[in-house]
């Protein structure tokens, strides 16, 4: 499922041609990444309350895809083995990138001879150079914000972290498949509280988080033209946009965040 704001629907709809009903959810308005997550989770739980979900930000780059999908499968298996944990995919840093969130590992929780699933000891949001350097020596990884979890575990975490939001999605969950579904969806978004996944869900739940490294995978958060250009050059490609864009201040598109998460 992909969550798209109502304003972005005309741009997104052609990309979903042939993918079937229920693959794109339309938000009445964009009010933060937590609402996007729990909107999709509401519909997933209505189909299967015992499901395991994988959550992806939609503006990230991974290469090669087959290795990424192998790691995704490991994360899903880890989430099923550790049903109370959120299993985050991490990236081994190749530089002191201070705009990313870093995860410092703790004890091993699961895994095999080829990979480890570790507890997250500490999250470092936009660390200083000194903090990032110390984190590197402790085996820290960048947090890709891609994660696997049991639907029920995320639902219970939601009630712990933001009950004012969860009561709204409980109303929607009860109305899925009924004549009142659309009316209730619009009504709960009129005063929907705004929360962010990284700061309001994952950090408070860090005692219930785990990390798994994406080994051998090139990953980048494509939030700026500079990151896009750097990544494409790493795989021998040139960007399609004019390189003059790199000399201008980056202004996010007015629809930025309108299609943030895939579940």
Element holding 247 (H helix, E strand): none
Beta carbons within 10 angstroms of residue 259's beta carbon: 23
- Region 162-191: mean pLDDT is 96
Pick from 20-29, 161-170, 177-186: least confident: 20-29
Q: What's the CA gap between 122 and 140, in Å, rounded? A: 9
Nearest C-alpha neighbor of 54 from the set 75, 34, 68, 39: 75
The answer to whether 239 and 229 are in contact (CB under 8 A) is yes
Q: What's the CA gap between 172 and 63, in Å, rounded? A: 37
Nearest C-alpha neighbor of 215 from the set 127, 141, 118, 121: 141
Predicted confidence at residue 40, as pLDDT, reads: 95
In this predicted model, what pLDDT tens digit does every residue of 13-47 receive, in sequence order?
Answer: 888 877 766 678 889 998 999 999 999 999 999 99
In this predicted model, what pLDDT tens digit does every residue of 214-228 receive, in sequence order?
Answer: 999 999 998 888 888
DSSP letters for 160-211: HH-HHHHHHHHHHHHHTTSTTHHHHHHHHTTTPPP--IIIIIITTTGGGEEE
Predicted confidence at residue 247, as pLDDT, reads: 65
Which positions ≥6 away from 150 have C-beta within 8 Å? 50, 51, 52, 53, 79, 80, 83, 84
- Region 155-179: mean pLDDT is 97
Domains detected in the chain: 2-262 (3.90.550.10)
Which positions ≥6 away from 48 have C-beta within 8 Å? 151
| pTM of structure | 0.88
């Amino acid at each position: 499922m992909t969550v798209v704001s109502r304003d972005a629907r005309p741009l997104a709809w052609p990309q979903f041609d042939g993918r079937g009903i229920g693959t794109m959810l339309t938000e009445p308005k964009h009010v933060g990444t937590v609402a996007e997550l729990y909107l999709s989770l509401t519909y997933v739980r209505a189909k299967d309350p015992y499901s395991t979900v994988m959550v992806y930000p939609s503006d990230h780059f991974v290469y090669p895809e087959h290795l990424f999908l192998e790691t995704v499968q490991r994360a899903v298996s880890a989430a099923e083995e550790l049903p109370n944990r959120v299993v985050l995919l991490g990236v081994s840093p190749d530089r002191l990138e201070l705009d990313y969130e870093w995860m410092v590992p703790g004890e091993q929780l699961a895994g095999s001879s080829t990979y480890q699933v570790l507890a997250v000891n500490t999250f470092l949001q936009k660390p200083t150079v000194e903090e990032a350097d110390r984190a590197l020596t402790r085996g820290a990884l960048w947090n890709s914000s891609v994660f696997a979890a049991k639907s029920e575990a995320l639902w219970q975490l939601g009630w712990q972290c933001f009950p004012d939001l969860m009561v709204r999605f409980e109303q929607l969950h009860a109305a899925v498949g009924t004549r009142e579904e659309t009316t209730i969806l619009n009504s709960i978004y009129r005063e929907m509280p705004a929360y962010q996944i990284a700061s309001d869900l994952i950090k408070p739940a860090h005692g219930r988080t785990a990390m798994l490294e994406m080994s051998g995978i090139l990953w980048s958060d494509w939030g700026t033209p500079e990151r896009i250009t750097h990544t494409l050059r790493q795989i021998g490609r040139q960007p399609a946009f004019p390189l003059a864009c790199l000399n201008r201040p980056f202004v996010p598109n007015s629809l930025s965040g309108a299609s943030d998460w895939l579940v």
